[in-house]
Structure 1
Amino acid sequence: MAAFTMGSPPMLRLLSGEAARRFGGRAAVDSGSLVLSFAELDRLSDGVAAGLAHRGVRMGDLVVLALPDGPEFPICYLAAAKVGAVTAGLRPDRPVPPARLDPALVVAAPGTALPGLEVVTLPLRDGPAGRRPYDPGRLGALYRSEPPPPPLPPDPRRPVAVVFTRGAVRRADGGTAPRGAVFSTRRLEAVRAHGAGLRWGTGEARLLSRPLGHLTFMTRLPVFLQTGRTALVPPRWEPETVLRILAEQRLGVLQGTPGQLAELLSHEAAAAGGPVRLPYLRMVLSSGGAPAAELIRALRKRFGVPVCNRYLCTEAGLGLGTRPEDPPEDAEHTVGRPRGGVSVALRDSSGRSLPPGEIGEVLLRSEAVADGYYRDARASAGLFTRDGYVRTGDMGYLDDAGRLSLVGRASVDTQSRA
């Protein structure tokens, strides 16, 4: 295969092939029981792409993944991208009725009942105990031992992923359902450029704290592919499991939501064996909302490493953060400054820009913002300001150093923090 070059916005197909060439047998996904290499990820997603095409999935069709976290999710996600289809992962914490999405195909785990939809059920049987190489038989009849369809012409605006938010849209029956933020190739390229730049193979393994259908994986798969980063995907985020993986894998970064990190500290405080030694840990990342100052201080005291915040909403793609070299009080009282390529603005209800110290709605803008909401033109129109900022729905203020502090939610809760 020819070497991948950073010309036009890279397609997931090209990144996958180059990652297979560069990293080969290195683990791309490790679920604790199954290990999938970068070479297998590319090869098996080729076969599933052939299977999707055989079933009539075409460019622009929606493929819904109703799958547990594990190797099958990225295989099918890449396969859909290789045929130009759009992927939506159903997250267990934010259920969405698949029928409302009108997908061309649903790829599901056993026991998933979705009447009226074309469903391919994968035979995800439990294997013997212990870690073992990935078994392609888990892909069932969806996999075909033949080449995938020919590559599609580059199109930066082609939709690739739908990521669901907490912000809800009201249905005709009076209920509500999460909105789906759409990310095209050019949006994933902006995330890739920010997270990897021109570097190849510099990523260390990372324990994922969110489901694979979350923004964290759906938009950052290009970064995982380019950096050769192993995605450690436990069946569920449990303190005991997380601490064991951190120690066994010698991980340098612990990432979680404020709730997850607080749960981890509580678990350790109650554990009879005392704190787990984590000599390789370099940093703790809190993401998904502003943590309490007491939690930041407790994490810093327990682990003896810098604690940093990450802030964005699902629709923004990229956001703000504190850095390890920042003063400790930055993470205790703010969510940091804009990351590279991100602009932040604070405005009142009339759209007036606010000076430091005044509270207003937080607006974010970058090349990574969502293209809009899936099949919801009205909500898409209300997502952006006239000058292209995303309305986060959060309220806050900037200080004189450009650091953002959050104080609550706007009166109309439309978006969700990632």
Structure 2
Amino acid sequence: MKRLIVLNLVFLLLFTVPVAASKDSGFVVSTNDGLELTLDENGFIESLRVDDNEFVAEVSPIFWVRDFTPDYEIENLVFDSSFEFDDNGDGIADGWEEIAISGNKNISLDTENVHSGNFSLKMFSYAASKKPNEMGYISSAIPIEGGEEYCLSLFAMNDFGFLGPWVLSMSVYCIFYDSKGNEISREEIKIDHTLNSWKQFSKIFVSPSNAVKSRVAIIFIGPKINAIPGANKSTAWFDDVSLYKMPEKTKMNAAEGKMRKDGDKLIYEGSLNELNFTARYQSNHDYIQIDGEIKGNGEEKAIDVYFLLPINAHQWKWWDDMRNWRQIDDGLYEMVVNADESSYLPLSPYPVSAITNDEIGLSIAVPLSKPRIFRIFYDADMNKFGISFSFGLSPLTNFNVVNFT
């Protein structure tokens, strides 16, 4: 029988009966039914075991932070990123090309609905009787460096609101190529509802180590006849595309601190980018609970805090929800929706997710009694199962403290 172990972030790792101890080999918290988490004196994860199954291949930090507060300048690598230039008058922005992937394409430069400048990219489709019309706009080649962190971003708007991808969809890809011009992989941004309002969609990722160039592809899939009442035609607009290398000051940094034992709890005290940080680990009946608290330093802060378990789960199952799963191969696995009407803030709609194989499973969960902006994911490129929390800190608040459970 398959066993599912829940990490609930209070973080919840799922199991029974409390045991917390300090051993020569590290600080250990475990449950009666076989889950054991071991940390070293610096709070790095040494071991995560279920019975005789060890998941951790090497010692690594478990808590990380990304600080989005600093102002920084970017170098946009996309030529004519706002679709402003058409020197030969062919109706196609310079540095871009149109493609018809399936059926008919209807692509133009629009002057009525723009986010900035004088033009935006417009894609239109009538409902198709069989296979939907699918079209794209692809940039010229963009030189990049392998193994570096990049951000892909653009503004999008549509006139059809939120409809399932089986009806119509909008996506943007960053496609990576090696020195011989072969496609290596691609990163995708799925664009959710933006009914008649411009929204920015962004994604940060690491380029493949052997990548030397990339291209940005904007894809639009139109509706099918009678799929949804009223969706007999649809229009999407895109503007201000950017691809840029992330500045050093915004990159993820590991927490720095020390572990100690306090009764039946393990206490981590340290800092996240000079912000005081405390984490408490304890067994709680049938799960391991982890509570974290970050104190402000008197400055405005916008941060993401990450809890990352180094697990190679290739060929396992990633569970979007209790019924739907995907086999883990490459890329990022998450189930998210947009938490912000005016911009893009990905949020997991469910308080629990899991990865499983044929014998056992691990789950990360959060308590419904402590709502937070969070995202549960498995990153197959990093081999990390984790959760991130998005926080804002301000000296104008009474306490200037944030926490997660």
TM-score, reference length from structure 2: 0.27
Larger Rg: 2
Task: Return the structure number with greater helix share.
Answer: 1
Structure showing greater relative contact order (alpha-carbon pairs closer than 8 Å, 6 or more residues apart):
2
Task: Return the structure number with greater strand share.
Answer: 2
TM-score, reference length from structure 1: 0.26
